[in-house]
Amino acid sequence: DQQVKQNSPSLSVQEGRISILNCDYTNSMFDYFLWYKKYPAEGPTFLISISSIKDKNEDGRFTVFLNKSAKHLSLHIVPSQPGDSAVYFCAASGRRGGATNKLIFGTGTLLAVQP
């Protein structure tokens, strides 16, 4: 039962253009969403997060949008840079009701930014 889905295994964009990575979830109890970036042979690195009480959070070149009615979130990177090439994981957690702080991850999207 895949509660967090990233349906695009890969994405290729030109340097300077916008990268849009998508994520869908099925569990309405999720109230906190995160994006992680992962290089080969390294652990995931936190990028940006959003609480379910918001619909947008921005940090520099990274913006996350949350559409609760559609159970969909997206990560926008603009402008994209070659150093952004990595696997991006969407993750969700449900902290209400005393749930522990465990994360449910999607399967990842490999972003390749072409110079």
Partner 1 sequence: NAGVMQNPRHLVRRRGQEARLRCSPMKGHSHVYWYRQLPEEGLKFMVYLQKENIIDESGMPKERFSAEFPKEGPSILRIQQVVRGDSAAYFCASSPDPDYGYTFGSGTRLTVV
Of these, 46, 59, 81, 96, which contacts partner 1 (CB under 8 A)? 46
Using alpha carbons, select from 17, 5, 14 the residue that is nearest to residue 74.
5
DSSP label at 83?
G
Binding piece for partner 1, criterion CB under 8 A, among 12-20, 36-44, 52-60, 66-74: 36-44
Q: How many residues of this chain interact with partner 1, rule: CB under 8 A?
A: 23
Three-state SS at 84:
helix
Write out the binding residues for partner 1, residues 6-35 only, by CB under 8 A.
Answer: 6, 34
In whole angstroms, the minimum distance from the beta carbon of 14 to partner 1 comes to: 27
In whole angstroms, the minimum distance from the beta carbon of 82 to partner 1 comes to: 22
Phi, psi torsion values for 9, nearest 5 degrees = -70, -25
DSSP label at 6?
-
Could you say whether residue 94 binds partner 1 (CB under 8 A)? no
In whole angstroms, the minimum distance from the beta carbon of 85 to partner 1 comes to: 19
Binding piece for partner 1, criterion CB under 8 A, among 50-58, 60-68, 77-85, 101-109: 101-109
SS3 assignment for 15-69: CCCCEEEEEEECCCCCCEEEEEEECCCCCCEEEEEEECCCCEEEECCEEEEEECC
Of 53 and 115, nearer to partner 1 (C-beta) is 53
